[in-house]
């Protein structure tokens, strides 16, 4: 909401970057013929984030196609002291991918070329602007899958995924991007190019520089190409969607499931009944298992369907007879699997139809995961419309969402910093996978010691001495 933004922006002063001049415009239009736009209609979409909760006022959108072009643009902007916001699919949820003031938007939308794919090792090398779902379709044809899957897969870019260290639905099985990304090509603030685009699983020569850029949210360099390890496509995928009567039962189901399904378990997601109500009400989807306080979605992926089904059936029998699960449904065909996944994947979308959304993405010890939702419900009472909890239970990642009819300062004050203090007391993380962006940067010390934050600020000052890359994001300003 605009009033929330003006409140946040008023706490941030525009840094003394240069203002865009006619000669800047002329140079950049020559550098990127037909791909430098100052059309207000085109800029409108790029100045607002997916949630409609962060809005900038950039006057220029640049769409390079090659690393050399990114390098030329950044070298010029660095010399002129012009601030730049790198932008991928603009699907972030913490205001990290849109300008705060008038920063130039550097979009990777046209950098969507697949460079190579090795069918033996499963290593994919591609430009940063490739859309995740398109990459998944491409590698699936060769018998592989991308190691990450997100609700935003139809529009998010792989470079943005890496820059934000996106988590998502496959992390339980394949780990985070910090493990599956093998190499990166990055352009630094001054336009110099860093080629760490290795395709080796093992390379133990010096510091692992790519890790600096994974999760740096475009503040240290612009990722232009990625080398990523793709696992083989599972031959057999099964999905179980189950109802549980309490969160204690959800936890016990997870423990049992992990013990009995072992190596074929690929996802364990949970949602509460409020989430299901919103998905049914706003998206007209219907629950296959009505009337449960909690739902879990369990996915198995393996190489032998008979073996996997046997294991899953054994687990379901155990879960039903011991009273962990009251009701459930199983899917093995693609259509039903997609329909069940959409109940979980589209919760974010359903929430946006419910009013103004306050979003929190935290890591907590699994046993405490739902306590935060209940404590928040009790704290907010009637001042919130809905308080819901869902997320990647297998990774200890809770998505806590609070909706209200409209934006309210007093409601925000009741939520923050309470939610961060609560998380810090449990030694959790205030951002499990969304990053810090513009909205959360001032809360970083709830999860990181001051010395760590100071070291991060020193990295930023070293790699981007003028601070032109995605300013006002990720880190609090250095003293």
- Contact partners, residue 12, CB within 8 Å, separation at least 6: 100, 472
Say yes or no: 214 and 134 in one domain.
Answer: yes
DSSP for 180-195 reads: HEEEEEEE-TTS-EEE
CB atoms inside a 10 Å sphere around CB 22: 7
Say yes or no: 211 and 180 in one domain.
Answer: yes
DSSP for 78-95 reads: HHHT--EEEESS---SSS
The answer to the question of residue 189 being in a domain is: yes
The answer to the question of residue 472 being in a domain is: no
Residue 326 maps to which CATH number?
Answer: 3.30.70.2190
Say yes or no: 211 and 301 in one domain.
Answer: no
The answer to the question of residue 212 being in a domain is: yes
User: How many CA atoms, within 13 angstroms, populate the side-chain half-sphere of residue 70?
Assistant: 30
Say yes or no: 370 and 456 in one domain.
Answer: yes
Say yes or no: 345 and 327 in one domain.
Answer: yes
Say yes or no: 102 and 147 in one domain.
Answer: no
The answer to the question of residue 32 being in a domain is: yes
The answer to the question of residue 471 being in a domain is: no
Residue 405 maps to which CATH number?
Answer: 3.30.70.2740
Number of domains in the chain: 4
List the pLDDT tens digit at each of the 479 positions of the chain: 444 443 454 479 999 999 999 999 999 999 999 999 999 999 999 999 988 889 999 999 999 999 999 999 999 999 999 999 999 999 999 999 999 999 999 999 999 999 999 999 999 999 999 999 999 999 999 999 999 999 889 999 999 999 999 998 888 999 999 999 999 999 999 999 999 999 999 999 999 999 999 999 999 999 999 999 999 999 999 999 999 999 999 999 999 999 999 999 999 999 999 999 999 999 999 999 988 999 999 999 999 999 999 999 999 999 999 999 999 999 999 999 999 999 999 999 999 999 999 999 999 999 999 999 999 999 999 999 999 999 999 999 999 999 999 999 999 999 999 999 999 999 999 999 999 999 999 999 999 999 999 999 999 999 999 999 999 999 999 87
Residue 54 maps to which CATH number?
Answer: 3.30.43.10
Say yes or no: 222 and 241 in one domain.
Answer: no
Looking up tokens 């959360």 gives: 440
Rama region for 122: left / alpha / beta (φ>0; ψ in -120 to 50; rest): left
How many helices (DSSP H) and strands (DSSP E) are in the chain?
Answer: 18, 16
The answer to the question of residue 449 being in a domain is: yes
Say yes or no: 240 and 185 in one domain.
Answer: no
Say yes or no: 29 and 99 in one domain.
Answer: yes
Q: Given this model, what pLDDT does residue 50 score?
A: 87
Longest CA–CA span in the chain (Å) reads 74
β-pairing, 236-244 with 181-187?
Answer: unpaired
Separation between Cα atoms, residue 69 and residue 249, nearest integer Å: 55
Separation between Cα atoms, residue 325 and residue 181, nearest integer Å: 37
**In the structure encoding, which two tokens stand for residue 447, read together?**
């999860």
Count the residues in the chain.
Answer: 479
Separation in Å, CA 121 to CA 116, 125, 215, 228, 383? 12, 12, 25, 11, 54
Final residue in a domain of this structure, among 52, 76, 107 = 107
User: Can you say how many angstroms the Cα of residue 361 is from the centroid of all Cα atoms in its chain?
Assistant: 10
Q: Given this model, what pLDDT does residue 8 score?
A: 52
The answer to the question of residue 475 being in a domain is: no
Name the E strands within 304-396: 327-331, 356-363, 386-392
Beginning with the edge strand found earlier in the chain, give each strand of the sheet holding 36-37 in spatial order.
36-37, 61-62, 104-107, 84-87
- Contact partners, residue 133, CB within 8 Å, separation at least 6: 153, 154
Separation between Cα atoms, residue 300 and residue 55, nearest integer Å: 40
Say yes or no: 370 and 289 in one domain.
Answer: no
Task: Indicate the DSSP class of residue 223.
Answer: E
Helix (H/G/I), strand (E/B), else coil: 234: coil
Say yes or no: 368 and 440 in one domain.
Answer: yes
Separation between Cα atoms, residue 230 and residue 148, nearest integer Å: 9
Say yes or no: 93 and 171 in one domain.
Answer: no
The answer to the question of residue 470 being in a domain is: no
Final residue in a domain of this structure, among 81, 107, 133 = 107
Q: Can you give the residue range of the structural domain that contains 158? A: 114-229
Residue 197 maps to which CATH number?
Answer: 3.30.465.10
Final residue in a domain of this structure, among 171, 202, 229 = 229
């Amino acid at each position: 909401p605009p009033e929330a933004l003006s409140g946040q922006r008023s706490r941030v002063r525009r840094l003394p970057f240069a203002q865009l001049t006619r000669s800047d415009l002329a140079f950049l239009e020559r550098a990127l013929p037909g791909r430098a736009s100052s059309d207000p209609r085109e800029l409108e979409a790029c100045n607002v984030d997916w949630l409609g909760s962060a809005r900038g006022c950039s006057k220029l959108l640049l769409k390079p196609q090659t690393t050399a072009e990114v390098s030329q643009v950044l070298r010029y902007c660095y010399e002129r002291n012009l601030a730049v916001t790198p932008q991928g699919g603009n699907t972030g949820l913490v205001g990290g991918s849109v300008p705060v003031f008038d920063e130039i938007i550097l979009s990777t939308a046209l950098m969507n070329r697949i460079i190579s794919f090795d069918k033996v090792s499963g290593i994919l090398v591609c430009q940063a602007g490739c859309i995740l779902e398109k990459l998944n379709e491409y590698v699936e044809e060769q018998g592989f899958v991308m190691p990450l899957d997100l609700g935003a897969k139809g529009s998010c870019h792989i470079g943005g995924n890496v820059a934000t260290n996106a988590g998502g639905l496959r992390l339980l099985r394949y780990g985070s991007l910090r493990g599956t990304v093998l190499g990166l090509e990055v352009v630094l603030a001054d336009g110099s190019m860093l080629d760490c685009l290795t395709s080796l699983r093992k390379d133990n020569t010096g510091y692992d520089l790519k890790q600096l850029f994974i999760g740096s949210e475009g503040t240290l360099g612009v990722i232009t190409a990625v080398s990523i390890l793709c696992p083989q496509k599972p031959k057999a995928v099964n999905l179980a969607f189950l109802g549980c009567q309490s969160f204690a039962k959800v936890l016990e189901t997870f423990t049992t499931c992990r013990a009995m399904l072992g190596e074929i378990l690929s996802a364990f997601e949970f949602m509460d009944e409020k989430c299901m109500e919103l998905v049914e009400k706003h998206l007209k989807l219907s629950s296959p298992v009505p009337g449960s306080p909690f739902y879990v979605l369990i996915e198995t992926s393996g190489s032998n369907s008979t073996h996997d089904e046997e294991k899953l059936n054994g687990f379901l029998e155990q879960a039903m007879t011991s009273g962990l699960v009251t009701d459930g449904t199983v899917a093995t065909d693609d259509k039903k699997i997609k329909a069940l996944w959409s109940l979980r994947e589209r919760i974010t979308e359903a929430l946006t139809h419910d009013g103004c959304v306050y979003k929190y993405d935290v890591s907590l010890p699994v046993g405490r995961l739902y306590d935060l939702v209940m404590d928040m419900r009790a704290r907010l009472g009637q001042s919130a419309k809905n308080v819901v909890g869902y997320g990647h239970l297998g990774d200890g990642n809770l998505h806590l969402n609070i909706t209200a009819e409209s934006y309210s300062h007093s409601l925000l004050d009741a939520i923050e910093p309470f939610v961060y203090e609560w998380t810090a007391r449990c030694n959790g993380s205030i951002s499990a996978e969304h990053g810090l962006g513009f909205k959360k940067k001032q809360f970083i010390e709830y999860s990181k010691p001051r010395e760590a934050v100071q070291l991060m600020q020193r990295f930023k000052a070293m790699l981007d001495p003028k601070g032109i890359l995605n300013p006002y994001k990720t880190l609090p300003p250095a003293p």
